[in-house]
Chain A
Amino acid sequence: MNPAADKKSPLMPPDLDLTALSDRLVGIVTTNKTPRSWMYAMAFFIFLTMVYLFSISWVFKTGVGLFGLNIPVAWEFPIASCIWWIGIAHAGTLISGVLLLTRQNWRPAIARFAEAMAMFAIIFAGAYPLIHLGRPWFFYWLMPYPNTQGLWPNWKSPLIWDFFAITSYLLYTTCFLYLDLLPDFGTMRDRAKHRISRIFYGIMALGWRNSAKHWARFDRANMILAAISAPIVVSVTGTISLDLAVTIVPGYHFTIFPAYFVAGALYSGFATVIVIAVPFRKMFGLEDLITPRHIDYIAKVMLGFVLVVDYSYMCEIWTAFYSGAPYYYGVYHNRWFEYYAPVYWTTYFLNIVVPQAMWFKGVRRSVAAMFVIALIADLGMWMERYFIVVTSTNRDYMPSAWLAKLPTGWDFAVLLGSIGGFCMLMLLFIRVLPLISLHDMRKLIIRKKGNVETTE
C-alpha cells in the first residue's frame, strides 16, 4: 500500500489481527448485551416509524389534499423528499463502487453501512411518489404489464423513467449489498452461537466456503458492479432531475439539472455517511476503525461536490438571465424577493457559506464539527430540493394563477416519519450483520503485512 498513508495516523489499530477483527465485529452482532443507547434510539425511531405509517395511511384514506398542495403548487414536500432520499442513497453506491475501483484504503471501514444506507434510502425515496399519488391504489399502472386494454405506460413521460430508474437502482443496490455480504454471511454462519441463526446465515451464505475459486469469480463480479455503480448513480438522479428538466416550467427547464442534481446528491449522501458513522462508532466503540481520518477523507469529497453544487447555482442563474425570457427573470425575482425567499436565502447560506469551513483541516478532523456540518448539509440539500420544486410552479406563466402554499403538519409527519423509519432499519441492520465489511478489512490487514498481494 502507499507508504504515505503510514506516516499519517493509522486507519486502524496496528495490533489488530484477523482474529481480533472477527471477534470484535462479529461480536457486535452476536453479543447478548445490546448497548442501552441502541435500545433508546430504537424505541424512538420505532415511534417515528409508526407516525410515518399512520400518517400515510390517513393520507391514503382521506386524500392527498392533506399535504400542502394546490393548483399551481401540485408538488412539494413528497417530491422534494424523494429527490433528497435518492441523493443520499448515491453516496453509498459511490463509496462501495468507485472507491473500490480507485483502491481507496479508507473505503472498507465505511462501505458496508453506506451501502445499507443506500438501500434503505431508496426504499423511502421510492415510497414517496406513490404516497403522493391521487389514487395510490392504482400505482401498478406505472408498470408495463400486458392487460386487456392493450395499454402500456407512456414511455415519453419522465415519471415512467423515474419508475424504471428507481426500481432498477433498488434492485442493483440489493444485488451489490448482497454480493458484498456473501462472504460475511459465511463468517457469521461459522461463528453464530444459536442453531437458528446458524441456519439463517447458512442459507443466506448460499454455501459460500471461501474457496479461492469463489473469491476469484466473486472479485470479478464485484468489479463489474463497481464499474456499473458510476453510471447508475449519474443516471438515476439524472433521470429524476428530468422530471423537472423536461417540463416547460420556468425554473424546472434547465439543461444543467442532471449534473447539478448528481453533485448535490453526493454532497448530501456523504454527509449522511458521517451522520450515521459518528453515533455508530460511539455506540459500538469503533473509534479506532472509523477514525477522524476517515471523516477527513469524506469531508474532502463533500467539499469537492459542494463546490460543484455552488457552481451550478451560479450557472443556473446565469442561464436564466441569459435566456432573455421574462418568465425566467420572474423565477428569480420570485426566489429572491417573494414568498419563498427566506427558504432560498437560507439554502444558499447553508450550501455555500457553511461548507467552506471544510477547507480547514482542523474542522475536517474534528468529529463533532463534521457531524454538525453534515447535518447542515443534509438540511441544506433538502431545502434546495424544496425550493426548486415549489418556487418554480407557484409563479410560472399565468400571474392570475400565482399562489403560494405552506406545508401542512402531514408533510412534516411523513418526512420525519420516513427519517425515523430509515434510522430504525439502520439500527436493525447493524444488529443482524457486521456494519463493517469483514473481508475488506481483512484485506487491509493482510496488505499491511505486505508479503502477499490481495485483490481488490
Chain B
Amino acid sequence: MSERGRYGLMAAFADADTLVEASRAAHKKGYRKMDAYTPMPIEGLGELLGCGEREKAKVSWLALAGGVFGGCCAYALQYTSTTLGWYFLSGGKPANSWPDFIIITFEMTVLFATFGAVFGMFWLNGFPKLYHPVFNVERFSRASSDEFFLCIEDRDERFDIEKTREFLEQFKPIEIVEVPK
C-alpha cells in the first residue's frame, strides 16, 4: 500500500459475461464511482457505469453545434466577401449567386460537424490524459487485448477495502489488485 493513497480496487476477469454480471451487481449494490475496462465496447455497460444516453447525447449536440457553426460561417463568408467586399462581375452572375454558394456551405457544415463529434468526444473523455492510476496495474495492459477489468474507486462513499474485495471475490476474478493513486 503506497503512501500516495489508493485509487481503487480492480478485478480482472477472463470474459465479458462475468464482467457485465459483476458490474450489474455492483451497481445494484449501490456502487457508483466505478469503471469497467474492456478490449471492445460492450452494450449497456455505459449505463451501469454512469455514462448513459444523456452523456452520449452531449457528443451529438457538439457535432450539431459544429455543423451549424461551420455552415453559417461558410455562407456568411461567401455572402459578405462578394456583396460587401470587392464586387466582381463574373460571368454575368449577380453578387449573391446563392446556388453557387451552397456547395461550400455544405462541405463546411459536414467538416465542422466532424470536428464537433471527434474533438467533443476527446474533450468529454478528458483526452489527452497520458497518466492515469489504472496504468499502474501491471496486468492492466491486457485490458486492451483480452482481459476485462472492473475498478471500484476509493472515492465511492460505499467503498470499503475489505467489503469491496469480498464483493469482487464472489465473481472469481483472475486477480484483484489495489490501484495506487
Contact = CB atoms under 8 A, between A and B. Distances in A.
B110 A452 contact: no
B16 A455 contact: no
B101 A17 contact: no
**B contact residues, range:** 35 or more
Contacts of A193: none
Interface in B111-148: 111, 113-115, 117-118, 120-122, 124-132, 134-135, 140-146
Interface of A: 17-19, 21-22, 26, 144, 149-152, 154-156, 160-161, 164-165, 168, 171-172, 175-176, 178-179, 183, 186-187, 189-191, 202-203, 206-221, 224-225, 228, 231-232, 235-236, 239, 242, 438-440, 442-443, 446, 449, 451-455
Interface in B49-78: 49-51, 55-60, 63, 77-78
The 8 closest A-B pairs by CB, nearest first: A216-B46, A18-B146, A190-B141, A215-B41, A22-B145, A168-B111, A207-B129, A221-B121
B106 interface: yes
Interface stretch (B1-9, B31-39, B154-162, B168-176): B31-39
Contacts of B140: 209
B130 A172 contact: no
A221 B143 contact: no
B80 to A, nearest CB: 9
Given A210-B37, A452-B43, A217 B125 contact: yes
A183 B42 CA distance: 14
Contacts of B141: 190-191
Interface string B3-42: 0000000000001110010000000000000011111111
Given A156-B93, A454-B41, A454-B42, A19 B145 contact: yes
Given A172-B110, A217-B55, A231-B110, A442 B39 contact: yes
B88 interface: yes
Nearest to B77: A144
18 contacts: A152-B86, A155-B97, A155-B101, A155-B104, A172-B114, A209-B37, A211-B36, A212-B37, A213-B50, A213-B51, A217-B121, A219-B56, A225-B114, A228-B110, A228-B113, A228-B117, A231-B110, A455-B42
